[in-house]
Structure 1
Amino acid sequence: MPDVSLDKAGIISTVLEGILYGFSVFMYGVTLWVLFYRRSTKEVNRSMVVVACMLFIFSTMHIGVDIHRIIKGLVYNRNFAPGGPAAWFSNPSDFTFVFKSAIYSFQTVTGDGVVIYRCYMVWQNFYIIIFPLIMLCSVVTAAVGSVWACSQANPSQGGIFFKLTGQWITAFYASTLSTNLICTILLAFRIWQINSRVHRKTPGNTSLMPVLMIVIDAGVLYSVTLLSALLCFVNHTNGQYVVLDMVMPIISIVFYMVIIRVGIAKVTPSSRGGESSGMGHAAAISHSQAQSRGEYAMRPLEVHITQLTESQKDRHLHDPDGSITKPEYDSV
C-alpha cells in the first residue's frame, strides 16, 4: 500500500487534530467547573488548575501552528520547486515544524510530570518515583535532542527519518511511553493494594475498582496512541505525522478525563444515612468497633481520584499482618 503524501498527511492530521481539539476544549471547560465548583475541599486545587490551563494553551498553540503550516504550504508555497507542497512539508528544519515540535515536547513533559506527581501522592514515598523521575529526565533530554535534530535536518538526507533525527525522536517516543506505562502500573497496583486491604476489613462496603479503571483507561488511551506513533515512525511511514498531531489534544483529554469522570459521578453524603457513593470520587465506610483482637475501629474513608494519599499518621495503624486499618485520602 503506497504511503500517503506529506501534503495529504498535513491536511488529514490538521482536520483530526481540530476535531480532538474541539473535544478537549469542551473537556477543559468541564474540568474547570469540576475543580472550582465540585471540589471536595474548601480550597481550590490551584496546581491542577494551572496544569489544565497549561495543557489548553499548549494545545491551542499547536493547532494554531498547524493551521498556519497548512496555509503556508498549500497556498504560499504551492509552487515550491521542485516537488510542490509535498517537498515543503518534508522539511523538518522549517521554523514552524521546529516550533510545533517544541510545543509538543512541553506538552509531553507536562503530562508525564502530572502522572509522576499522582504516583507520588498515591504512594507517599519518594523512593517509588526515583526511577520515573530518571525516566522523565530522559524524556526531557530526548525532547531537547529531537527538537535540535529537526532544526539541523536536511530534506535531501531523508528529512525527519534521517539517522540522527530518527534516533532522537525514537528515543523520545520510547522514553515517554515507558514513563507512562511504569507510572500507570504503579498507580494501578497501589490502588488495587489499598482496595484489597480495605475489603479485608470492611467487605462489601466500598470499592476502589472504579478508581482503578479510570487510571487504567487513561493510561491505555495515551499508551496506545504513543505506541501507534512509534510504530509509524520506525516503519518510516508518513502516517506518523497524522498520529503525532493527534497526540497533542489526547494528552489534554487524558488529563481532563481523570478529573471529569470523578467530578461528574460525585455524590455528596446524604442526610439519611450519611453514606456517599459515586464512580470512584467518594466512598464512605464506617466501622464502630474492632472486629477482632489487634484491630482498630475505622472512621469514614474518602477517596478522590485526582489525588489519592494515605495519611502519614495512619501508617502506624497496622495489624500484625501489615494490613492498613485506618486509611485516609485527600483530593488533588
Structure 2
Amino acid sequence: MAVQFLPEDKAGLISTVLESLLYGFSLLMFIGTMWTLLRRPEVNRPMVVVACLLFCLSTIHLGVDINRLNTGLILFRDAPGGPQAFFANPSQTSFVFKNAVYSFQTVLGDGVVIYRCYIVWRSIWACVLPSILWLGVAVTATGSVYTCTRPSTDSADIYVRELGRWITAFYSTTLACNLTATSILSYRLWTVNRSIQRSRVGSGVTMPVLLVVLDAGALYSVTLLAALICFVLQSNGQYVVLDMVTPIISIAFYMVILRIGVSQTNLSNRSATDQSIPRIPLTSRPDNFSRSKPMHVRIQVEQSTGDSPTSVERDLKEDLGGQTQSYRDPL
C-alpha cells in the first residue's frame, strides 16, 4: 500500500500547481532559446526542432493535468471512491496518455545529451555506453506505458508487482543514462578548458559551458533521484515529482543554449570594445622617437592543428549552441 500521508487527489492538485510554475519558467526560457538560435545567419534546424518539440510536449502534459483536475475533482466527486480513486487509477486514459508524453520527452532529452557527447568527443566510442542505456530507457518507457493499458493492471494501485518493476527500471535507466552522458561530456569539457588555460592567457567559453552542463545535469538527476526514491518507498509524493520532471527536462535543455548564447555575446562585445580603443597614428610620432635605437621585433608563428584547444573551443561554442553549418544534419 502507498504511504497515505499525501492522498492521491491532493498530490494531483499540488503537482499541477508546481508544474504550472515551472512551465512558466520554461516558457520564458523557450522564448530566449528560440531568439538565440534564430538570430544567427546559420540556423541549426535540429536544435530548433528539438526545442519546439520539448515545448509542445510540456504544454500538452500540462493541459492533460489541468483536464485531470477538472475531471477528478469536479466530475468524479460523487463517483464511487471519489476523486482519490480517480487519481489513483493507473489505467485511466488520461494518466496513460500523459505518461506516454512524459516518456517520449525523457527519451528525447536523453538523446540530446548523448548527441552533445558525440559532438564534443568527435567519436562514436564515447557514446556507446550512454547509447545502450538510452535504448534501455526507450524499452522500459514503452513497457511501463503498455503495462498501464493492460486489463490485468490493478486499478487501485500503481505499485503492483509488474507495473512497479517497469517504472522502477525506467527511473533507474534514465538516471543512469543522464549521469553517464553528463559525466562523459563534462570530462571532455574539463580537459579542453585545461588545455586552453595552458596554451593562452585569458578565459574562453568552455568553462561557462562546463558549469551550465553540470548545473543542468544536476538539476535533472536530483529530480529523477527524488522520483525514484518516492516510488521505491511507495509514497504518493512521486506523483508530485513526476509532473515536475516534465518542465525540468525542457529547462535543462534551454539552460545550455542560453548560457552559450550569453557567453558568445559577451565575447563579441569584448572584441568590439578592444577594436574601438584608439591607437596612436604612426605619422604622429614624436621627434625623439626617430632618434631612438632601432627596435628588434621577433614574431613567432605557431601552426595550429585540427585538434588544438582553440579549434575545439570554437566547435564547442558553435555545435553545442547549434550555430554551424557543418553539424546541422546529424540528428
Structure 2 unpaired stretches of 5+? 277-298
1:64 to 2:63 alignment: yes
Change (3 A) 1:289 1:69: same
Structure 2 residue aligned with 1:184? 182
Conserved? CA contact 2:226–2:241, under 8 Å: yes
Deviation at 1:302, TM superposition (A): 3.0
Structure 1 residue aligned with 2:300? 289
Q: What secondary structure is seen at the aligned counterpart in 1 of 2:274?
A: coil
What are the superposed Cα offsets for residues 81-122 of structure 1, whole Å, 9 maximum, x if unpaired?
1x2110111110011000001000110001000000000000
Counterparts of 1:115-194 in structure 2 under 5 Å? 115-152=113-150, 159-194=157-192
Q: Percent identity?
A: 49
Deviation at 1:307, TM superposition (A): 2.5
**How many residue pairs end up in the alignment?**
296
Rounded Cα–Cα distance in structure 2 between residues aligned with 1:299 and 1:22: 38
Rounded Cα–Cα distance in structure 2 between residues aligned with 1:222 and 1:169: 17
Which of 20, 24, 27 matches 1:25? 27
Q: Which amino acid aligns with 1:201?
A: S
Change (3 A) 1:331 1:264: farther
Deviation at 1:159, TM superposition (A): 1.8
What are the superposed Cα offsets for residues 38-90 of structure 1, whole Å, 9 maximum, x if unpaired?
x3xx3111111000000011001101111111111111111121x21101111
Deviation at 1:204, TM superposition (A): 4.0
Change (3 A) 1:141 1:274: farther
The TM-score normalised by the length of structure 2 is 0.82
Structure 2 residue aligned with 1:199? 197
Answer 1 or 2: which has greater helix percent.
2
Measured on the aligned residues, the alpha-carbon RMSD in Å equals 2.9
Conserved? CA contact 1:98–1:150, under 8 Å: yes
Rounded Cα–Cα distance in structure 1 between residues aligned with 2:13 and 2:92: 18
Change (3 A) 1:308 1:26: closer
Change (3 A) 1:136 1:155: closer
Change (3 A) 1:253 1:305: farther
Structure 2 residue aligned with 1:55? 54
Rounded Cα–Cα distance in structure 2 between residues aligned with 1:242 and 1:201: 48
Rounded Cα–Cα distance in structure 2 between residues aligned with 1:228 and 1:167: 17
Deviation at 1:261, TM superposition (A): 1.8
Moved over 6 A (4+): 296-300, 329-332
1:307 to 2:319 alignment: yes
Structure 2 residue aligned with 1:248? 246
